[in-house]
Structure 1
Amino acid sequence: HEIEVGIRYHEDEEDRLQRNSNYHQEGGRLILDDLGLLGNAGNRVQEAEALAIYIQDTIELGNWVLTPGLRYEDIEQKRTRWETRDGRTPNPSSRADSNIRDTRSNDTQVWLPGFGVLYNLSESTTLVAGIHKGFTAPSNSPDVDEEEAINYELGFRYNSGRISAEAIYFLSDYDNLLGECTASSGSDCTIGDAFNGDAATVQGIEFLFTTDLIRTGNYNIPVTFTYTYIDSEFDSDVADTAFFGDVSEGDPIPYILEHQFNLSVGFLKDQWSSHINVSFVDEVCVRASCNAFERTDDTLTVDLSTHYALSERVDLYGKVENITGEVDILGRHPYGARPNKDRTATLGVRIDF
């Protein structure tokens, strides 16, 4: 037995007292028109206190390694907003009790058990399995539940020195999928608000393979290939919300890719090292409804990099990203379609002191 116990206490505070100022441009310079009242863009304080306690035991029984564990989380969150809207306060920076616009809080307590298993078939092959309860705390939004899921994994790992491979099946069974409004989410919602997504399922397989195609005293050609397949969907209807939209059972979860892979081939000789990297990401829905203009493009990207070590401390490098110059839409939030990175060439010197 190898027992591990931990405890963590954390306090956090966000204090936002902001203003919007107006400018115009003349001759390439910004000219201030109106400084704006302090607080006209936001006057609020958010606070959080969190306590986490866990215990984990590692048990070795012959070829078996068992890892049971248990974690407890207690999180208290609170937000206070003061009035900043025109016509409702003469001073948007005031934090007097009479200027309080609203307060809200959310308290969460949760127990998180988990159990992992390793079985060594041989010196090079290991079977892995596990079941763990996952958790994400909601924001201080009232009437929003924490995100909870039971996560399963099953697979194997192989390492013979020259060849390394791994295949893992995973399944996340969500009791409640949590959505949180952020500056990059692009939804018509207030930053910090959270939304219940109800039941959802995410499952798939991850595959990794690495080897040296050629390994001699003069040069090496290493190869690495990774592939991930994910199937995700909502398991129930969700009433129209500012974050998820109008969801029907079976709709895909936004921004979760179905297919993605990466292939890297290198050439290493003396001080030289060069790599070509090919990556693919599948098209994806950005809203559950997946209507027109709610989908990204699939993208194949080719990058090339090379390094030359002048000495132990000086390294010359160059790289070309997106060699083909492919232009695709990779996202549509927060403010419309966003393309991938254009063809970019970089040359540089790295010096370690």
Structure 2
Amino acid sequence: DGADTAAGSIQLRSNSREYFSRGVQLGLDWQFTRGDAIHEIEVGIRYHEDEEDRLQRNSTYHQQNGRLVLDDLGLLGNAGNRVQEAEALAIYIQDTIELGNWVLTPGLRYEDIEQKRTRWETRDGRTTSPSSRADSNIRDTRSNDTQVWLPGFGVLYNLSEATTLVAGVHKGFTAPSNSPDVDEEDAINYELGFRYNGGRNSAEAIYFLSDYDNLLGECTASSGSDCTIGDAFNGDAATVQGIELLFTTDMSRTGNYNIPVTFTYTYIDSEFDSDVADTDFFGDVSKGDPIPYIPEHQFNLSVGFLKDQWSSYINVSFVDEVCVRASCNAFEKTDDSLTVDLSTHYALSEKIDLYGKVENITGEEDILGRHPYGARPNKYRTATLGVRIDF
């Protein structure tokens, strides 16, 4: 409210950090024909190193006459002195085989990732120099190594020039952090469907299933969980399945204007497949509980009008309510949200474009999240006018 505060009542962190990244990547493409089959083989290898260096301080202030006044410039390192590093090796081979109406794509990838974190002592009473990187000031180290093989197989079958059947089975993974005893996120992913492209009209319907052997949760500043940022947690087995629909068309009847229409819809059924003892991230999970923040229904409808230099669009999107914790108790859900946006553009020239937009025209007020630290609203009605210049 702008009132003066007591000395030292406000703490600010200098979130200083440096990032370092380097690597090398080599690739080989080889095309040949064997009988009626056309092969395109890709082979690649990549070595990569990453490093994040944090040396941060907390300082205290008070507010006086509406301004922040420094009381104590904290010692460098008192808010964090650590280095996180990773070395990753990836090798893959893939063969795209064209055989009549069939396109077959088998592939295999290998990943070897070594991660390490070193923390130096910063706590009061345990060091007089929180910025020191001396061996005698090391607080702790931890590491996590991941080696994984990732096979995959994709299939396309061209029913006609406009219609294609698609199917695939692929193993996917997400590397854990350097938290020890945490496994990589591991899933077998299936898809089956079709794509149609008939010029003015196109459509797509895909069924998907992700069978997780281990669902990974990672603590971040935005997760809001009672955990240490950077830590990771095993969520054990889980299943995510659903269907994605896409339809596009142009409703114009003359060549003087265009009315493009795009509709997308996604249905997702997600749940944990096992009981997980109480963790700082997932909470207490029972088999059949929903996976947090995955909506069951969501869709988007976009209708445009394009004529000469003008282009205008109305966009309607819906996102279903979600549980923010597996337990889904009181105050652990979001609201479903229906949002209507309107935008228009006028091209003054090839390089200058005038635009205006109104987001959330109806002024809906919804809770879209509850992390971190309580309910988070959607964006309220917002109008924007601008000029875009392409140099």
Task: Output the CA distance in 1 between the equivalents of 2:168 and 2:149.
Answer: 17
Deviation of residue 111 (structure 1)? 0.5
Q: 1:17–1:39: 8 Å Cα contact kept in structure 2?
A: yes
Residue in 2 that maps onto 1:211: 249
Identity %: 93
- TM-score scaled to structure 1, two decimals? 0.99
| CA distances 1:2-42 after superposition (whole Å, capped 9, x unpaired) | 00011111001111111011112223321111111111111
**1:67-106 C-alpha deviation (Å, 9 max, x unpaired):** 0000000000001111111122222112222221111111
CA distance in 2, matches of 1:350, 1:133: 43
Displacement of 1:215: 3.9
Structure 1 residue 288 corresponds to structure 2 residue 326: yes
Distance 1:219 1:184 in 2: 45
CA distance in 1, matches of 2:345, 2:174: 41
Provide structure 1 residue ranges, at least 5 long, that are not aligned to the other structure: none
Would the aligned equivalents of 1:115 and 1:132 in 2 still touch at CA under 8 Å? Answer: yes
SS in 1 for 2:58: coil
Alignment of 1:141-180 (within 5 A): 141-180=179-218
Q: Are 1:260 and 1:280, in contact at CA under 8 Å, matched by a contact in 2?
A: yes
Contact 1:175–1:200 (8 Å) recurs in 2 = yes
Asked whether the 8 Å contact 1:39–1:84 carries over to 2, the reply is yes
Mapped pair 1:35 → 2:79: no
Distance 1:351 1:39 in 2: 44
Is 1:194 matched up with 2:232?
Answer: yes
TM-score normalised per structure 2: 0.89
1:133-168, Cα deviation, whole Å (9 max, x unpaired): 001111111111111100000000000001010000
Contact 1:278 1:301 survives alignment (8 Å): yes
The question of whether the paired residues in 2 share the 8 Å contact of 1:215 and 1:221 is answered with: no
CA distance in 2: counterparts of 1:12 and 1:314, whole angstroms: 40
Distance 2:362 2:63 in 1: 37
1:188-245 per-residue CA deviation (whole Å, 9 max, x = no partner) reads 1111100000000000000000001124121111100000000000000000000000
**Contact residue 21 and residue 36 of structure 1 kept, 8 A:** yes
Secondary structure of the 1:268 match is strand
- TM-superposition CA deviations, 1:42-87 (whole Å, max 9, x none): 1111110000000000001100000000000000000111111112
| Corresponding residue number in structure 1 for 2:109 | 71
**What corresponds to 1:240 in structure 2?**
278
1:231-289 deviation digits (Å, cap 9, x = unpaired): 00000000000000000000000001110000000111111111000000000000000
Q: How many matched pairs?
A: 353
**Which deviates more from structure 2 when the two are superposed, residues 217-226 or residues 20-29?**
20-29
How far apart in 2 are the matches of 1:128 and 1:158?
11
CA distance in 1, matches of 2:150, 2:347: 49
Secondary structure of the residue that 1:98 maps to in structure 2?
helix
SS in 2 for 1:266: strand
CA distance in 2, matches of 1:46, 1:126: 46
CA distance in 2, matches of 1:17, 1:311: 49
The SS at the match of 1:286 is: coil
Q: Could you give the per-residue CA deviations for residues 104-133 of structure 1, whole angstroms, max 9, x where no partner exists?
A: 111111100000000000000000000000
| Equivalent pair of 1:239/1:247 in contact (CA under 8 Å) | yes
Larger mean CA deviation between 129-138 and 30-39 belongs to: 30-39
Tell me, yes or no, if structure 1 residue 302 matches structure 2 residue 340.
yes
The separation in 2 between residues aligned to 1:64 and 1:94, in whole angstroms, is 62
Cα deviation code 1:294-353 (max 9, x no counterpart): 110000000000011111111111000000111100011112111000100001111112
> C-alpha displacement at 1:179, in angstroms?
0.5
Distance 1:41 1:291 in 2: 35
Mean Cα deviation higher: 54-63 or 21-30: 21-30
Partner-residue secondary structure (3-state), 1:204: strand
Q: Give the Cα–Cα distance (whole angstroms) in 2 for the partners of residues 316 and 43 of structure 1.
A: 48
Describe the superposition over 1:166-197 as per-residue Cα deviations: whole angstroms up to 9, x where unpaired.
00000000000010111111111111100000
What SS does the corresponding residue of 1:215 show, helix, strand or coil? coil
CA distance in 2 between partners of 1:124 and 1:200 (Å): 36
Q: Is the 8 A contact 1:73 1:109 kept in 2?
A: yes
Correspondence for 2:135:
97
Alpha carbons 1:198, 1:236 under 8 Å: kept: yes
Q: Is the 8 A contact 1:254 1:287 kept in 2?
A: yes
Q: Distance in 2 between matches of 1:324 and 1:25?
A: 39
Is it true that 1:49 corresponds to 2:87 in the alignment?
A: yes
- Residues in 2 aligned to 1:98 and 1:54: alpha-carbon distance in whole angstroms: 42
